[in-house]
């Protein structure tokens, strides 16, 4: 097992790592809309979603993976009415490669953000 850490994504805000590699599989912790410096990227779901993807790309790269090797995503939304906007942005990051996905509404997310995404990916 290898723990993943990059300064290009926000530090974990609890007793966990940004991700873990086991047997050429990368499992990310949920990424929220914090900048690498730990500041909230913005109030709207669009800005937050783009920051989440920037964070995911950073931890995937550190793990030797990429968005193109993602097998499964889980999207947590504070408000399911944001789904159409998030879905459109999400589709821009996965234009040809379409990983399996779950999307659920939750009552609250860390730092009161609007979105959190975690991924499972193959390590190249």
The residues that are catalytic are 103
Contacts (Cβ under 8 Å, ≥6 apart) of 14: none
The token pair that represents 16 in the structure block: 């966990």
In angstroms, the CA 79 to CA 85 distance is 11
Q: Count of alpha carbons within 13 Å of 38, Cβ hemisphere only?
A: 4
Maximum Cα interatomic distance, the chain, rounded to a whole number of Å: 38
């Amino acid at each position: 097992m290898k723990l993943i850490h990059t300064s290009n994504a926000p530090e974990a805000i609890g007793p966990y790592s940004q991700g873990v590699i086991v047997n050429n599989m990368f499992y990310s912790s949920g990424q929220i809309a914090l900048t690498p410096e730990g500041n909230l990227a913005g109030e709207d779901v669009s800005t937050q979603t783009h920051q989440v993807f920037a964070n995911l790309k950073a931890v995937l790269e550190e793990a030797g993976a990429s968005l193109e090797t993602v097998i499964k995503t889980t999207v947590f939304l504070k408000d399911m009415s944001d789904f159409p906007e998030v879905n459109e942005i999400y589709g821009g990051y996965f234009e040809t490669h379409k990983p399996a996905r779950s999307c659920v509404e939750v009552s609250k997310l860390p730092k009161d953000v609007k979105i959190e995404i975690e991924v499972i990916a193959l390590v190249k």
